[in-house]
Structure formats: C-alpha cells, structure tokens
C-alpha cells in the first residue's frame, strides 16, 4: 500500500521531495536528537492525489492521517479533544522549495468551547487559553473558510474600544472571552453554521486548506518567478503546539548561523520574550538581537548556540532557524539553508571551504547562479526603496537600477544626454533605429514586448537596466507623457527610476549603490572554470561590449550581430543608399562605402578578442528596419538621397511586410542580394588578415542566419567561400575560417542532417526558434502572457526560460540529426537562453561545445556550466 503520512521520526532530510523542505528538516532534526515538537507530515504526493481526486482527500488517506495522529497522541501522551490535557497542533504548509509566506498556516488547532476551558485550567492561564482560541478561530476562518481576516480585526478593535484597551495585550481574560464569543458569532453569521467543534473535522479541513493554498494567486506568482513547477505540490506538517507566549520565561525568535547580508561568521538573529511568531512579524514590540538572549536566559542561549553549530556542521551550510522557548525549554521549529545576498553567498562559500566544511565542488553547487546578477549591476539603496512607492510594474527585462529624466524618443534622449542629463528612455517598443538613444540612456522602459523583445535583448547586451512590457501604462509618445493605471501622469523631463531586477517603476530619483566585485567572486569563478565542460562565449556587437565580456570571463564571441554596426551615424546613410538603390550596380557602389567601416569594426573586435573564436552573423533584420517611418523623417531622408518624397515613401511602402519576423530577412537577404553577403565576407576576411598580420591568429566563424533548407545554406555558403577564398589567395596568406548556420527555424532543426553537410557549426538561435515553435511573436506576447499566467496555462515566459518539451525536443532532434551527418559538428547556443542556468544545464546534457550570452551574464553562465558538470558526477554517484 502507498504511504502518504510520515511521523517526523520516519523521515530524513533527503526525503525533501516527498515531505517538503520543512517536513524533511523537522524529521532530520528529530533524528539528530534535537528538541523538536513532535508531529507528522502529510506528503506532497497526498497533495497531488488531492488534486487528481477533484480536490478531495480520499478515505484511505484520511484514515492514514488519523492512524498517524493516534500514534502521535500515544507518543506525546496527549489526546486531540481531551479536556484535561488536550493535544493542540499547528498545521503548516511545506513545499519542496522554500516559498516563504506564500502559503497558509493555522495554529492552536484542536481548541473548542470545552477544550479551551481545559487549557485554561492546565496552564493556569485563562487569558492565554482564550487568546489562543480567538487566534485559532480567526486563522481557521480566514485560511479554511475564506472569511476575511479584516472582519475579525474589526471585531477585536470594537472590544478594545469598549474596554479602553489600546494594545491586544491590554485585553484581560474576560475581554478575550468576549472576543471569542463575538468571533464565533461572526463566523456563524457569515457561514450560516456554528464554528466547528470537532477537532478531527478541524484537522481535515485545515489540511485541505493548505493543499488548496498551493494554487492561490500569490503561490502561483511566486512559483512563476522562481521556476517552481505546479506539479510538485506541497506537504502539510501537523505538529504539537509549543507556546512562546506563556510568560516571561517563554519567547520566540529566528536566527542565522552567519550574517545573511555580509556572510560574516557570527550568529545573527532576533527574539522576543513572551510572544508568538506572529507577534514578531507584527512588529509592535521591537525584538532584541540574538546575543542578548545570553543575558536573559544564558543556559538556553548556550544550548541554542550548540544546536546552531551542530546544524551548520550537519547541513554543511549556513542555517536559518526558528525556535520557541516555552517556560524555559527550547524547541526548534524549523531549520533550512538560509537565503543570503549575493555578496554573502560568495563569502560563505569561500569560508566554508577554508573551514574544511565544504569541498570546492560542494561550495559551487550551493550558489544560485542567478544571484550573481546583483553583484554586477547597481541596486537601489534598500532604505530609499522602503519609502518609495512603485507606480507600475513591468517585466524585469534587464537587471540593475537606474534613474533619470524621461524622454519619449531616441533622438530627444540622445540630445538630453549630450546636455549632461541622466535619461530614462520610455517607448511603446524599441526598434534598431533607437540604438543610439538607448545607448545614451540610463535605463529603458517599454509598454510592449516580452523578456526577449528588442529593448530587452539590446539592454541586456549593453548591461543596461530595462523594464519591458509594462502594459498597464498608457504611453503617448507623440504627446510625450504616460499615465499610470491610477491616473498619475509623467511628462517629458520628469524624474523616474527603474528597477530592472524586479520590474518596478518608481516616480522620482532613487539613490543607487554601485556594483562591486569582491575577491571571493574571483575565487568562485576560478573554481567554476575548473569544473565546467562548456565554453562560455558572449553575444557582443562592439569592441566595448566584447572587452567587458572578456573581463567577465568570456572565451570567445558566439554572436556578433552585424546589423547594429549599420545604425551608427556615419554609416546609416550609406546603408540606406544601398537599400534604395534601384539596381545591383548602385547597391554595390553603396556597399563599397560601408566596406572599410565594417572592416574596421571587425578589426577592433578581433583585436579585443586576441585570437579567441569570433562568430559573426551575416545581416539578419528586414531592410525596412533601417528606414524611417514618419513622414517628416522620410522627407528629410528623401532630400539627402536626392529622391522625391513620393518615391522614397513608395520604396518604404514596398518593403512593408505583414509578418516581418517571417519575411524577407536573415539569409533571405543574402539570397536576394548576394552582394551584401559578399561585402560582409570581404570585411571579415580582410580584417582577419590584417589582424593576423599583426601577430594574432584569428579564426573567424561566419554564421548564416535563418536557414530553413539545406539548399539555401549551400547557396549562401558558395557566395562566402568564393569571396573569402579569392581574397585569401590574392593576399597570399594562410587563413582558416569556418561557415556555420543558425538553427532558429523549426524546419532547420527537422532537416538538420542535410544542413549539417554544409555547416561546420550549429548555433541554436533559441529566441526565434522559440517564437516559431510556439507561433508566438515576442513583440506581441505581452498581453497574451499575462492572461496565460492568470489562467494557469503558462507557468513561465517561454522566451525567457527554455521550453524543453517543445523547443528542447527540436534541439535534441537537430543535435542527433546533425551528428549523424557530421559526427563532430560544433554546437552552441546564442539565444537569450544561453544565459539561463536551466538552459545551460540542458545544453551541457546535449554535449554542446559552448553557450553564448550577453556580457553581464557570462559569470552566471560560468557557474551554471560548472554546476551542470558537477551534476553529472552526482548522477553518477546516485546510480
């Protein structure tokens, strides 16, 4: 028979998936002989069964719960509902992953009208008994029966007013009895039935409520933000109550074995005497720091210090503990690996290795790669953040904190920056035309587009803060203002602050703290580099970005998008001449002008990369992105180009596409205008020859985008090799170069065997591949995704988190087929997922050669790649 309920004495820490984190650690502490109030855990599998059974608990599981309860009663020596010595319990959720405050808790369960009298007698404390009862009624009603908490608070306030009490603690036993009476009446008025008096009924209803809470809105949002699957479910812990509010020898507190902000090795925490956990949270009285416990109850402090030490040694990690002292006796209510800042994580990891508690490998596995972001970008000062009110929230598209004056178009932003202003660029959406303005801004805010919209991708590449897809704002670019959903209006020139790590938008200018990298960071990165198998490259389009990435540990460029180079002022004109040219000869003439500039770009890039591999992608975006859309700008450009306004407008109109993402772009440009690919190849090869002449040894990798058919690649490759081989021959030098292809269209993945015959490298462009596999345009997904989250259809944005079931399946098909045709084909990823730890693990599993990500994600990728490699060992060990 399946087992769904476990006594704490039956579990252990490794049973976390089944018992949840809290339950597993309670079991582990019980096993270690630590003072843990006794109880049992209803497993996560029972939770999933509850949902499978249409949100009911089966009779079998209910029976098992009561059988285990009886076992607990025998051990504890108290009975549920016993008037003389009643067993009272807490009922708490506990999922596999820590989800602090996300789910519901019920205390003092087991109380009823008669038991409360027994409790009063037993504790010789009538006020305590009725205080406990009224807390139970309110919690149970709120959590289990959905009677709003504030209704009970209103009743409590009434009684306080009537009795002239200002604090809850001013209420005496009689007042508490009155509160209980009125609470029960309130319950009955709303629910139409009396408050349940049967403890077993209370218990089952409470367990159901915890199961239900797994799917409440804040749990869903938290899961989405933290990539926790809905299928995990939560366990429920039923535990004997202990009371920190039984007088001055009772108390409750929380503590960390090390400082979670700095990592300093010193017990860190606070406690409050004569209080329950919720009182600490309520913040009415100010708790004392943990070391003062030594003054109040030195024996208990000593015992706690020993336990803390034992737990840290046992778990080999910094612990976050909750405890209660009941009448001088210490009880441990929880321990878990403590959350910590990125800086603390670095220090603790290095210290634990130095102390011999962890090996380097163990230390590496304990750091969350995503946390590193915080080390690399400025953040708002925590104090300032406390008093600031967020006026809107969008997607956390590119981390960091920034403030400045608002401008609504790239030109104005750039001009304001020249005047010395700090600028926040606000746009409905950005396009490649906006690059200069984005570059001039401190941060970017857009009304549309997801985590991989143009704004998001470019901002991450620049290491610039960006909040995207803030659809609740009404942005009026022409009118140069936006309004929030509360009607607040922000005009051009007003100050605004953006938190790209959380997606929050603040009005006014919040002070920021700069990023700083400690020596511990370098130590951790060095350890990571020893372990990882994947090479880490970067997506960089400029020498500056490339230099930053190299500083952060990049070992090559996995994606240089050449189109960004065309937007710079000195070359956009020649590029536009090329686009409007009515024949090949004129097009070639315009390309001639661009050639030396593009060659110089590559020279600088190669010089920065000093012989490391550099993958350069041929022109990708549709040509219309390079032309203006507004009449006034068209007029100006027409004059410059010596065309009539109508003629230029017609050209622009003729380039218009209904679905540009699936239109005339990528290698399709090279097929229709081979001269562009020729020019780019020439620039790459000539730059490589020039740089190698100066003593380097660059091996350029030319990457053909948007291939959907092998014949297409063969055609473009023939242009590249013909051009390159001629130049190399003329120069009389030895130069090796490779030609690879992006795999970013589903059909390329499905026919990867044919394609691999012409491609030396596959670089998975998972941005486009995800969009096409889902049939979902990242630029249009914003509104849709919001609904999909709220309807529980999607748990996360597929353009931000690699979809293994669909896109991952295609990647596996392509990898297998590609290797069939070319066993040692080089494999990499250059989509945004290249910087996502879970995706990096997947790439490691597929045996990729490298991942490529934006410069600021390189450290994250280094660590994630190391963790993926270490996971292999772990799996090996488990087999």
The residue ranges that bind a second copy (CB under 8 A) are: 429, 657-664, 668, 671-672, 706, 708-709, 711-712, 715, 744-747, 750-751, 754, 768, 771-777, 779-781, 783-784, 787-788, 791-794, 803, 805-807, 809-810
For 766, the 3-state DSSP assignment is helix
Q: Least distance to a second copy from the beta carbon of 681, Å?
A: 17
Q: Least distance to a second copy from the beta carbon of 524, Å?
A: 37
Q: Least distance to a second copy from the beta carbon of 796, Å?
A: 12
Strand partners, 334: 322
Element (H, E) at 505: strand 504-507
Q: Are strands 535-539 and 557-561 parallel, antiparallel or unpaired?
A: parallel
Nearer residue to a second copy within complex by CB, 671 or 838: 671
Tell me how far apart the alpha carbons of residues 624 and 607 are, in angstroms, rounded to a whole number: 32
Count, residues in the chain: 879
Measured in whole angstroms, how far is the alpha carbon of residue 581 from the centre of its chain? 46
Tell me how far apart the alpha carbons of residues 362 and 524 are, in angstroms, rounded to a whole number: 12
Sheet strands (E) in 690-754: 700-704, 738-743
Q: Least distance to a second copy from the beta carbon of 619, Å?
A: 15
Identify which of 539, 393, 557 has the alpha carbon closest to the alpha carbon of residue 458: 539
For 330, the 3-state DSSP assignment is strand
Tell me how far apart the alpha carbons of residues 698 and 736 are, in angstroms, rounded to a whole number: 8
Nearer residue to a second copy within complex by CB, 544 or 747: 747
- Residue 454 near residue 429 (C-beta atoms within 8 A): yes
Element (H, E) at 861: helix 858-878
Tell me how far apart the alpha carbons of residues 43 and 63 are, in angstroms, rounded to a whole number: 14
Element (H, E) at 417: helix 410-418
Q: Least distance to a second copy from the beta carbon of 559, Å?
A: 18
Tell me how far apart the alpha carbons of residues 802 and 848 are, in angstroms, rounded to a whole number: 15
Q: Least distance to a second copy from the beta carbon of 768, Å?
A: 7
Nearer residue to a second copy within complex by CB, 641 or 662: 662
Nearer residue to a second copy within complex by CB, 414 or 451: 451
Nearer residue to a second copy within complex by CB, 276 or 799: 799
Catalytic residue among 466, 667, 830, 853: 830
Tell me how far apart the alpha carbons of residues 355 and 312 are, in angstroms, rounded to a whole number: 12
Tell me how far apart the alpha carbons of residues 844 and 850 are, in angstroms, rounded to a whole number: 9
Exposure letters 138-171 (e unless 16+ CB within 10 A, then b)? bbbbbbbeebeeebbeebbeebbeeeebeebeeb
Nearer residue to a second copy within complex by CB, 467 or 708: 708
Nearer residue to a second copy within complex by CB, 66 or 774: 774
Active site residue 454: yes
Tell me how far apart the alpha carbons of residues 579 and 672 are, in angstroms, rounded to a whole number: 12
Active site residue 830: yes
Strand partners, 762: 741, 827
Nearer residue to a second copy within complex by CB, 589 or 750: 750
Q: Least distance to a second copy from the beta carbon of 773, Å?
A: 5
Cβ count near 338 (within 10 Å): 22
Measured in whole angstroms, how far is the alpha carbon of residue 468 from the centre of its chain? 15
Q: Least distance to a second copy from the beta carbon of 662, Å?
A: 4
Nearer residue to a second copy within complex by CB, 541 or 768: 768
Q: Least distance to a second copy from the beta carbon of 774, Å?
A: 5
Catalytic residue among 377, 454, 564, 833: 454
Using a 10 angstrom Cβ sphere, with 0-12 exposed, 13-18 middle and 19 or more buried, the burial of residue 59 is exposed
Using a 10 angstrom Cβ sphere, with 0-12 exposed, 13-18 middle and 19 or more buried, the burial of residue 672 is exposed
Catalytic residue annotation: 454, 830
């Amino acid at each position: 028979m399946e087992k769904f309920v476990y006594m704490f004495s039956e579990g252990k820490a490794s049973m976390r998936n089944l018992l949840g984190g809290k339950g597993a650690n309670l079991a582990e502490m019980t096993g270690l002989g630590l003072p843990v109030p006794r109880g049992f855990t209803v497993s996560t599998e029972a939770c999933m069964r509850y949902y499978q059974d249409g949100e009911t608990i089966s009779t079998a599981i209910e029976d098992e719960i009561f059988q285990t309860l009886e076992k607990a009663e025998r051990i504890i020596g108290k009975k549920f509902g016993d008037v003389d010595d009643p067993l009272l319990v807490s009922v708490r959720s506990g999922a596999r992953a820590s989800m602090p405050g996300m789910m519901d808790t019920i205390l003092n369960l087991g109380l009823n009208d008669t038991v409360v009298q027994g409790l009063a007698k037993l504790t010789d404390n009538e006020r305590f008994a009725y205080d406990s009862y009224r807390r139970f009624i309110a919690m149970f009603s709120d959590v289990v029966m959905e009677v709003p908490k504030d209704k009970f608070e209103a009743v409590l306030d009434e009684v306080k007013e009537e009795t002239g009490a200002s604090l809850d603690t001013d209420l005496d036993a009689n007042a508490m009895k009155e509160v209980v009476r009125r609470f029960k009446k309130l319950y009955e008025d709303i629910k139409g039935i009396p408050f349940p008096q049967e403890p077993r009924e209370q218990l089952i209803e409470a367990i159901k409520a915890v199961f239900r809470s797994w799917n409440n809105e804040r749990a869903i949002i938290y899961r989405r933000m933290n990539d926790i699957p809905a299928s995990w479910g939560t366990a429920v812990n039923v535990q004997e109550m202990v009371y920190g509010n039984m007088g001055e020898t009772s108390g409750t507190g929380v503590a960390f074995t090390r400082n979670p902000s700095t990592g300093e090795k010193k017990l860190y925490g606070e406690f409050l005497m004569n209080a329950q956990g919720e009182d600490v949270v309520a913040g009415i009285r100010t708790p004392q720091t943990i070391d003062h416990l030594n003054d109040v109850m030195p024996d208990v402090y000593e015992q706690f210090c020993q336990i803390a030490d034992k737990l840290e040694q046992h778990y080999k990690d910094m612990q976050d503990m909750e405890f209660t002292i009941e009448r001088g006796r210490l009880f441990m209510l929880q321990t878990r690996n403590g959350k910590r800042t990125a800086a603390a994580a670095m220090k603790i990891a290095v210290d634990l290795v130095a102390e011999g508690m962890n090996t380097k490998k163990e230390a590496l596995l304990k750091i969350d790669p995503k946390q590193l972001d915080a080390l690399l970008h400025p953040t708002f000062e925590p104090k300032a953040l406390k008093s600031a009110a967020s006026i809107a929230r969008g997607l956390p598209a590119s981390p960091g904190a920034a403030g400045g004056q608002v401008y609504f178009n790239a030109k104005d932003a750039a001009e304001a920056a020249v005047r010395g202003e700090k600028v926040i660029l606000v746009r409905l959406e950005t396009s490649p035309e906006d690059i200069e303005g984005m570059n001039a801004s401190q941060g970017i805010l857009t009304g549309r587009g997801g985590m991989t919209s143009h704004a998001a991708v470019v901002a991450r590449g620049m290491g610039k803060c960006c909040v995207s897809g803030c659809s609740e704002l009404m942005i009026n670019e022409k009118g140069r203002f936006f309004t929030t959903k509360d009607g607040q209006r922000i005009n051009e020139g007003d100050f605004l602050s953006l938190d790209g790590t959380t997606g929050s938008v603040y009005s006014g200018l919040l002070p920021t703290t700069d990023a700083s990298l400690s020596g511990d960071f370098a130590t951790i990165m060095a350890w990571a580099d020893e372990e990882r198998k994947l090479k880490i490259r970067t997506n960089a389009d400029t020498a500056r970005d490339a230099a930053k990435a190299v500083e952060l540990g990049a070992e090559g460029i996995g994606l240089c998008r050449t189109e960004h180079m065309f937007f710079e002022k000195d070359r956009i004109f020649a590029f536009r001449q090329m686009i409007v040219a009515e024949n090949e000869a004129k097009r070639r003439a315009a390309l001639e002008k661009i050639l030396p500039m593009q060659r110089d770009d590559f020279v600088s890039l190669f010089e920065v990369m000093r012989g490391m591999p550099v993958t350069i992608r041929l022109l990708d975006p549709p040509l219309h992105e390079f032309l203006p859309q507004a009449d006034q700008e068209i007029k100006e450009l027409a004059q410059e180009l010596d065309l009539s306004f109508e003629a230029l407008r017609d050209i622009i109109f003729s380039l218009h596409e209904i679905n540009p993402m699936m239109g005339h772009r990528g290698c399709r440009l090279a097929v229709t205008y081979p001269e562009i690919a020729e020019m780019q190849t020439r620039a790459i090869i000539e730059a490589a020859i020039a740089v190698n002449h100066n003593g380097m040894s660059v091996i350029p990798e030319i990457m053909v985008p948007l291939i959907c058919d092998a014949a297409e690649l063969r055609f473009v490759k023939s242009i590249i090799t013909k051009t390159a081989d001629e130049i190399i021959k003329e120069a009389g030098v030895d130069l090796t170069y490779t030609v690879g292809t992006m795999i970013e269209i589903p059909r390329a993945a499905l026919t990867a065997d044919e394609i691999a015959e012409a491609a030396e490298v596959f670089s998975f462009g998972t941005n486009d591949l995800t969009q096409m596999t889902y049939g979902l345009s990242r630029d249009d997904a914003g509104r849709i995704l919001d609904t999909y989250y709220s309807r529980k259809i999607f748990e996360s944005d597929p353009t931000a988190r690699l979809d293994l079931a669909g896109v991952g399946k295609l990647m596996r098909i392509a990898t297998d087929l590609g290797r069939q045709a070319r066993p040692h084909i080089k494999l990499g990823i250059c989509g945004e997922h290249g910087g996502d730890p879970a995706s990096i693990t997947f790439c490691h599993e597929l045996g990729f050669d490298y991942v490529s990500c934006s410069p600021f994600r390189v450290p994250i990728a280094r660590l994630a790649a190391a963790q993926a490699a270490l996971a292999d060992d772990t799996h090996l060990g488990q087999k």
